Amino acid sequence: MDLSIVELLKTIILGIVEGLTEWLPVSSTGHMILVDEFIQLNVTTQFKDMFLVVIQLGAILAVVVLNFEKLNPFSSWKSQQEKRDTISLWGKVIVACIPAAVIGLLFNKYMEEHFMTAPVVASTLILYGVLFIVVENYNKHRTPRVSDLNKLDYKTAFIIGMFQVLSLVPGTSRSGATILGGILYGTSRYVATEFTFFLAIPVMFGASGLKMVKFGWNYTGAEIIIMLVGMVTAFIVSILSIKFLLRYIKNNDFKAFGWYRIVLGIIVIAYLFLVGDPTAND
């Protein structure tokens, strides 16, 4: 393929969309599917499928950079208790990853073949938008059982991980599913969100690694540049997105994201009625 300024601009736009939507509970996969209908990279289908997953590496590196000290159990700045708490946090992350890892390995291919469509994305956008509003109304007068990440127990971590399985359906939002699960099971919004960020680290590295292995290692120079530009853009935008969300939830609930999902889902359905399903022949 020939690498042009236009292709680089498309890549930057996709990186921006990934960086914004990966951490906000609005479904990055759903947005990438929809944006791809209007901004199509001039690449092979195999590379595009891999790229749309691997671009998440840029997003996840933002979490690692922003929280390196918190996630590093060997930091010389930490007390022995803080080091034990960090090791325990990683243990909870691993436990929470087990359900999605098992179910994902068994059903990921089936999900990609049968559920990676615009109608599914539109439906799940609306469904989980409604759920966010309902859960926030239900949670309005409840006192969180867990308001400190260090107080999160292994059982709660595993249950949050069970909710993560729901995100195998495109349009659900991995962060949305786990945040909802955490809130329903008694964590504060902040704890649920922060744990969701950390939970993404092994999940995204694993998913990206599998996609790269499946694609192979025969990249052209243009493909390497596209991957790097996409990941760097997603990294920069993710840093801003993460900081925004953590500030936002200190004084706000998730209802705004619920309404956004509902409106976007309705727009997608209207678009499907007008022009048909753009993913029908994929």
Residue 45 has pLDDT above 90, yes or no: no
> How far is it, in rounded angstroms, from Cα 107 to Cα 67?
32
Average pLDDT, the chain: 89
Quote the pLDDT of residue 109: 74
**Closest-CA residue to 126 (of 83, 156, 169):** 169
Binned at pLDDT 50, 70 and 90, residue 278 comes out as low
Binned at pLDDT 50, 70 and 90, residue 11 comes out as very high
- Better pLDDT: 30 or 23: 23
- pLDDT more than 90, % of the chain: 59
pTM for this model (two decimals)? 0.87
> Lowest-pLDDT range, 5-19, 115-129, 263-277?
263-277
Quote the pLDDT of residue 209: 82
Quote the pLDDT of residue 25: 92
Quote the pLDDT of residue 143: 92
**Residue 182, class by beta-carbon neighbours within 10 Å (0-12 exposed, 13-18 middle, 19+ buried)?**
buried
Q: What is the pLDDT of residues 170-179, one digit of tens each?
A: 889 889 999 9
- Better pLDDT: 262 or 279: 262
SS3 249: coil
Binned at pLDDT 50, 70 and 90, residue 39 comes out as confident
Residues 6+ apart with CB under 8 A from 229: 8, 11, 12, 15
> How far is it, in rounded angstroms, from Cα 153 to Cα 96?
11
Average pLDDT, integer, range 139-167:
93
Q: Which residues pair with 146 in a beta bridge?
A: 187
Average pLDDT, integer, range 117-129:
90
Q: Where are the domains of the chain?
A: 5-115+143-254
Q: What is the pLDDT of residues 211-234, one digit of tens each?
A: 888 888 888 888 899 999 999 999
Residue 279 has pLDDT above 70, yes or no: no
Q: What is the pLDDT of residues 163-197, one digit of tens each?
A: 999 988 888 988 999 999 999 999 999 999 999 99
